[in-house]
Amino acid sequence: MPKLTGQCLCGDVTFATEGDVAFQANCHCSDCRQTTGATFATLLFMDQSDVEVSGDVTTFAHTVDSGNVLTKHFCPNCGSQVFGTSESRPTLIALRAGCINEHEHVKPQINVFAGSKMDCTLLDPDLPAPERMPG
pTM of the model: 0.92
Q: How many domains does the chain have?
A: 1
Answer whether residue 101 is part of any domain.
Answer: yes
Q: What is the pLDDT of residue 64?
A: 85
Answer whether residue 133 is part of any domain.
Answer: no
Answer whether residue 128 is part of any domain.
Answer: no
Mean confidence (pLDDT) of the chain:
94
| Cα–Cα dist 4/17, whole Å | 5
Q: Which residues of 73-99 are buried (b: 16+ CB within 10 A; e: fewer)?
A: bbbeeeebbbbbbbeeeeebbbbbbbb
pLDDT tens digits along 73-117: 999 999 999 999 999 999 999 999 999 999 999 999 999 999 999
Range of the domain at 108: 5-116
Q: Which residues of 1-15 are buried (b: 16+ CB within 10 A; e: fewer)?
A: eeebebbbeeebbbb
Strands 69-74 and 51-54: unpaired
pLDDT tens digits along 106-121: 999 999 999 999 999 9
Answer whether residue 132 is part of any domain.
Answer: no
Q: What is the pLDDT of residue 66?
A: 79
CATH number at residue 100: 2.170.150.70
Answer whether residue 84 is part of any domain.
Answer: yes
